Chains A and B, each alone.
Chain A
Amino acid sequence: MSTTPVKFYQVGSFAVGNRLLPAAAGSVQSDMERTNALTSGHRACQGCGEALGARYAMDAAMRAANDKVIAVNATGCLEVFSTPYPESSWRIAWLHSLFGNAPAVATGVAAALRAKGRTEVRVIGQGGDGATVDIGFGPLSGMFERNDDVLYICYDNEAYMNTGVQRSGATPAAARTATTQAVGPEPGNVFGQGKNVPRIAMAHEIPYVATATVADLRDLEAKVARAMEFRGARYLHVLVPCPLGWGSQSCDTVKIARLATQSGLFPVFEAERGEVVSSTPIRQRVMVEEYLKLQGRYSHLFSPKRRDDVIDRLQAAADRNIKRYNLMPEEAGDL
């Protein structure tokens, strides 16, 4: 009789944990002793993707750096909801200065640690897409250029949510925000603008650039751990759905992030020294409509009149990502 080696675990690696796996093979988040870097009592909205992403990333960084981490936070939702004076939700060394200077402050912290010979302490800069893509972009580029020993993590929720959902350089085309209303012949954010910061970071040829989402914890944790293996400037871009700004159900945060990856709209990949070295294949492909229709910021594409022309343009962008990052390797020949 043929035998099948026992290697299958009932939820593969897709769930957070697995009682059948040895503890060492479990995710950081399945560990009862995880850091809980961002703990309970913070004032993020129900179902906040950023609160989730920040805890995932910082807990993984703490494990990778033997609990020796200093985080420098830009202004934004994450900073505001985690530290309303006089409370803090952080259980790690954490520093906030200004909206635009988090990469520069992180550079300074890294320089100070080097001067003191404390290079075992690792520095993480973090902020939302506003601080990263727009306001802190100059210092970020400088940090990359100098190859300062900092991992910078951008939690991308695709607009300025804290101040009332204004467009940022990371807002996707056709999305409605307070400053890109769903009016006129081309409603929502215009096509052809905005910045792709992971690719800009790659253009600096820094040691490591990666993207991740809150829908794939294992992948996110692996990328944080991988980033901590490098010295020098590293960049991690994490997609974090925002129920408030995206007009989605609070329970759908993880699902929407998953649909972003499975539609191809948000490619998950990693790059070293400017070259893409791997991408996460799409497992169950969906059309972009499946992703868009769960979000109020795209509702004008479906009513009062369905805008197939706009949906098709977004689909074309997803298809381009699939080809560009080889997200469907088995069908690469067909595309």
Chain B
Amino acid sequence: MEKPFAITLQVESSLANHTGSWRVERPQYVNLMPPCNNACPAGENVQKWLYTAEDGSYEEAWRALIVENPFPAIMGRVCYHPCQTVCSRGQLDEAVGINSVERFLGDLAIEKGWSIPVTAPSTGFKVLIIGAGPTGLSAAYHLRRMGHAVTIRDAADVAGGMMRFGIPKYRLPRNILNAEIARIEDMGVRFQLNHKVDNVQDAIDDGFDAVFLAVGAQIGKRAYIPAGEAARILDAVNVLHDVADGEAPLLGRKVVVYGGGNTAIDVARTAKRLGADEAMIVYRRTREKAPANDTEIQEAIEEGVLMKWLSTVKHADAGVLKIERMELDDKGFPQPTGEFEDLEADSLVLALGQEVDLSLVNNLPDVEVRDGVVHVDPNMMTGRAGIFAGGDMVPAERTVTTGVGHGKKAARNIDAWLRKEKFEKEPIPRVVEYSDLNPWYYTDAPHAVRPRLEGVRRASNFDEVVQGLDESTALYEARRCMSCGNCFECDNCFGVCPDNAVIKLGPGKGFEFNLDYCKGCGICVSECPSGSIIMIPEKS
């Protein structure tokens, strides 16, 4: 080749030298399972919707979210966010406030009136859902999106189940609950309220192809407590139900709530709001062992709810309770000490857990009941083909989010069963560990804690306790996501390659390796902040 004067070597003529032949390992982009997604009882793709929200594409983010969960605004208030417990960012500074961003997106969707079109063609199948709580509504939503005709029947005159009758409105304002349920109704789900189902067989005979039972656990557990005739003992479920109905149950000045779960906390906080001077939780174990969510306990304490740990109620009488102090034994179980004290109390509210009303399945001999709950197979089907069950009436953690997850899972299995197929879950990729990440690249930035109404002020009314993020704080929070195991286009691989062997495809398109030149040094893997590149052996 003729070259100009004094030029001896052609520009970039080294491209003829394919250094990729030196390689014994090659890098590969992967999508791993972020810990948050893995922990979500509703199976949300948290990393994906946070990523989408990061550039302000809120509607797109919301639409990515509702693929798995129809209730972002509800979730953003009542979910105990196990995603945040496992968030990798928690090991760097503080977990990302996933729950608060979810709420921001949910509220924005309500404000903007975003709706959910049903685009799937009608399948012709009819599904009956019994129970309009979180589980039933979630199943209805997913089944409707798949093109099935869905009817929900519920004994109450309004939909929502425990979200309405169990969760006080200072935690879940009713306009939010109503808006997210209305959106499901707008999708064409038929609601038959005031319609208690006593006989499932009759319902099936109405022409439904499949039935999903999701009536929850509505009956308060009773414990035998010796009591004088004048003692006032109430049940937590009923108290909350009455308050939701707008009736103020007579609790008196001093209220004692017996139990350590979230329902107990809800009742104690509600009692304060109804005007009780004193609301006290009595629980036989310690705060650490109490099943209630720690945030709830903390908020209750801030509102002036008193806590009496390691105590049981031995006797109830008018205006006074006999309390026995307990001690934890070596195994962590509470044991009586024989030390008693008297406690002034105008009423005692029992919050000792709830049981399932099984009368619904009494005349279905194929449906097996074990330990007071309905037994289902891994596909959520009962012993009777075509009858599925989920939520609090099957063995599960009893939270709204778990119920929503059950609804989704049941919907997928019902859909497959109707089509005479078997639902196959996609294999779950490896869960990202903190050691997969290169946290150097993330700037330190603590989490924007949602403002709380000051304790005393909020204890006196039913205003919502936890306020939301505004747009700037929500964006800030979303951007704290480390995008574990999924590329977020930080360009590090494109930059750190000594051999220019990473091809940047442009915004939203990611990167490719140019294996003609990649020598397999692995710097891109080491320097990838999110652990989205792995090395794999080259075939010899």
Q: Which residues of A contact B (CB under 8 A)?
A: 1-6, 8-20, 26-27, 29-30, 32, 36, 38-49, 51-52, 55, 82-83, 85-91, 217, 243, 249-255, 258, 284
Contact = CB atoms under 8 A, between A and B. Distances in A.
**Top 8 A-B pairs, shortest CB-CB distance:** A17-B491, A12-B443, A16-B495, A251-B522, A41-B14, A47-B521, A88-B9, A40-B517
A17 B494 CA distance: 9
Given A15-B490, A40-B516, A46 B507 contact: no
A26 B494 CA distance: 13
A116 to B, nearest CB: 15
A30 B495 CA distance: 6
Given A14-B442, A14-B443, A254-B496, 15 more contacts: A10-B488, A16-B490, A16-B496, A27-B491, A29-B491, A30-B491, A39-B15, A40-B14, A48-B498, A51-B499, A52-B498, A88-B12, A217-B495, A252-B526, A253-B521
A90 B11 contact: yes
A52 B19 contact: no
A11 B14 contact: no
B527 interface: yes
Given A10-B442, A40-B14, A20 B479 contact: yes
30 contacts: A3-B473, A4-B448, A6-B475, A8-B479, A8-B480, A10-B482, A10-B483, A12-B442, A18-B491, A19-B490, A27-B491, A30-B491, A32-B504, A32-B506, A38-B500, A42-B14, A42-B19, A48-B498, A48-B521, A51-B499, A52-B496, A82-B14, A86-B10, A87-B9, A87-B10, A88-B12, A251-B526, A252-B526, A254-B496, A254-B523
B12 A39 contact: yes
A11 B490 contact: yes
Size category of the binding interface on chain B: 35 or more
Contacts of A82: 14
Contacts of A6: 472, 475-476
Nearest to A81: B14
Contact of A250 (B480, B483, B523, B529): B523
B408 interface: no
Contacts of A9: 443, 479
A29 B492 CA distance: 9
A85 B490 CA distance: 37
Contacts of B8: 85-86
Interface string B438-476: 001111010010010000000000000001001011011
Given A2-B451, A88-B11, A253-B523, A10 B481 contact: yes
Contacts of B488: 10, 19
Nearest to A253: B523
Interface string B9-48: 1111111111100100000000000000000000000000
A311 to B, nearest CB: 24
B284 to A, nearest CB: 40
Contact of A14 (B16, B440, B451, B506): B440
A44 B498 contact: yes
B299 interface: no
A2 B54 CA distance: 20
B521 A251 contact: yes
A15 B10 contact: no
A44 B520 CA distance: 12
B500 A40 contact: yes
Contacts of A10: 54, 442-443, 479-483, 488
Contacts of B472: 3-6
Contacts of B517: 40-41
Contact of A90 (B12, B482, B506): B12
B122 interface: no
Interface of B: 8-19, 22, 54-55, 440-443, 445, 448, 451, 467, 470, 472-473, 475-476, 479-483, 488-492, 494-501, 504, 506-507, 514, 516-517, 519-523, 525-527, 529
A40 B19 contact: yes
A133 B448 CA distance: 51
Contacts of A88: 9-14
B499 A11 contact: no
Contacts of B527: 254-255
Given A18-B490, A52-B496, A8 B19 contact: no
Most chain B beta-carbon contacts within 10 A, residue among A10, A39, A45, A82: A10
A89 B12 contact: yes
Contacts of A5: 472
Contact of B500 (A14, A19, A36, A252): A36
Contacts of B489: 17, 19
A254 B475 CA distance: 31
Contacts of B55: 19-20
Nearest to B473: A4
B451 A46 contact: no
A71 B207 CA distance: 83
B143 to A, nearest CB: 37
Most chain B beta-carbon contacts within 10 A, residue among A12, A39, A88, A251: A251
A255 B526 contact: yes
Contacts of A255: 526-527
B479 to A, nearest CB: 4
A83 B9 contact: yes
Contacts of A47: 498, 519, 521-523
Contacts of B507: 19
Nearest to B507: A19
B418 to A, nearest CB: 42
A251 B26 CA distance: 12
Contacts of A14: 440-443
B495 A86 contact: no
Contact of A41 (B18, B480, B525): B18
A17 B516 contact: no
Nearest to A38: B500
Nearest to A18: B490
Nearest to A249: B522
A235 B511 CA distance: 35
A253 B526 CA distance: 9
Contacts of A11: 441-443, 490, 529
B500 A55 contact: yes
A323 to B, nearest CB: 24
A30 B470 CA distance: 31
Most chain A beta-carbon contacts within 10 A, residue among B14, B440, B479: B14
A95 to B, nearest CB: 9
Contacts of A48: 498, 521
A4 B471 CA distance: 10
A30 B511 CA distance: 12
